[in-house]
Amino acid sequence: MTLPLLRWMAAAICICLSAPVAAEEMPSRHIYVLMGQSNMAGRDTADMEGQPPDPRILTLDAANHWVVAKDPVHAMTSSIAPGVGPGMAFAREMLVSAPAAQIGLVPTAVGGTPLRRWVKGADLYEQAVARARAAAKAGVLRGVLWHQGETDARTQADAGTYEARLGQMFKDLRQDLGQPDLPIVVGQLGDFLAAENFPAAAGVREALQQLPRTLPRVGLAPATGLQHKGDHLHFSSDSARELGRRFAHAMHTLHASDVTALWPTGRMPGGAAAQPETWRFPERRDALRVTHVSEPALTLYRAPHLGQLAPAVIVVPGGGYQHVAMDKEGADVAAWLNAQGFTALVLKYRVPDNREGAFADIQRAIQLTRSRSADWQIDPHRLGVMGFSAGGHLAARASTTFSRCPAGTDDGTEGLSCRPDFAVLVYPAYLDDAASSLSAPLSAREAIPPVLIVHSEDDRKYVSGTHQFRTALASAGQHVHALIYTSGGHGYGLRSCGDAQQWPADALPWLAAQRIR
Q: 153-176: per-residue pLDDT in tens?
A: 999 999 999 999 999 999 999 999
Distances (CA, A) of 448 to 157, 159, 435, 455: 63, 58, 24, 20
pTM above 0.75, yes or no: no
Residue type, 402: F
Per-residue confidence (pLDDT) for residue 97, from 0 to 100: 78
The pLDDT score that the predictor gives to residue 48 is 79
Rounded to an integer, the average pLDDT of 323-351 is 91
The pLDDT value recorded for residue 329 is 94
Residue 10 above 50 pLDDT? no
Q: What is the pLDDT of residue 202?
A: 96
Q: Is 280 left (phi over 0), alpha (psi -120 to 50) or beta?
A: beta
Look at residue 211 and tell me whether its pLDDT is greater than 90: yes
Query: Is 305 a residue whose pLDDT tops 70?
Result: no
pLDDT of residue 432 exceeding 80, the answer is: yes
Largest separation between any pair of C-alpha atoms in the chain? 72
- Read off the pLDDT of each residue in 469-497 and give the average, rounded to a whole number: 95
The amino acid at 511:
L
Task: Report the alpha-carbon distance of residue 318 to residue 120 in Å, rounded.
Answer: 43
Position 249 pLDDT exceeds 50: yes
27 pLDDT exceeds 70? no
Q: How far apart are CA 92 and CA 71, in angstroms?
A: 13
Q: Which of 282, 441, 438 is nearest to 352 (CA)?
A: 282
Specify the pLDDT at position 441: 86
- Among 9-23, 144-158, 239-253, 276-290, the range with the most confident prediction by mean pLDDT is 144-158
Q: Assign residue 516 a region: left if phi > 0, alpha if psi is -120 to 50, beta otherwise?
A: alpha
Give pLDDT, residue 158. Answer: 97
The arithmetic mean of pLDDT across residues 381-391, rounded, is 97
pLDDT class of 63 with cuts at 50, 70, 90: very high
Q: What is the pLDDT of residue 223?
A: 95
Give the three-class secondary structure for 176: helix
What is the model's pLDDT at position 2?
36
* pLDDT reading at 283 higher than 60: no
pLDDT band at 415 (very low <50, low <70, confident <90, very high): confident
Residue 122: CB partners within 8 Å, gap ≥ 6? 116
Phi/psi for 504 (5° steps) reads -60, -45
- Nearest CA to 344 out of 416, 424, 452, 405 is that of 424
Rounded to whole angstroms, how far apart are CA atoms 299 and 210?
21
pLDDT of residue 268 exceeding 90: yes
Mean pLDDT across the stretch 336-345? 90
Task: Write down the mean pLDDT value for the chain.
Answer: 89
- DSSP letter at 327 equals I
Confidence bin at 257 (pLDDT 50/70/90): low
**Tens digit of pLDDT for each residue in 215-232?**
888 999 999 999 999 999
Residues facing 232 on adjacent strands: none
Are 209 and 220 within 8 A, CB to CB? yes
Q: Most confidently modeled of 12-21, 96-105, 394-403?
A: 394-403
The pLDDT score that the predictor gives to residue 169 is 97
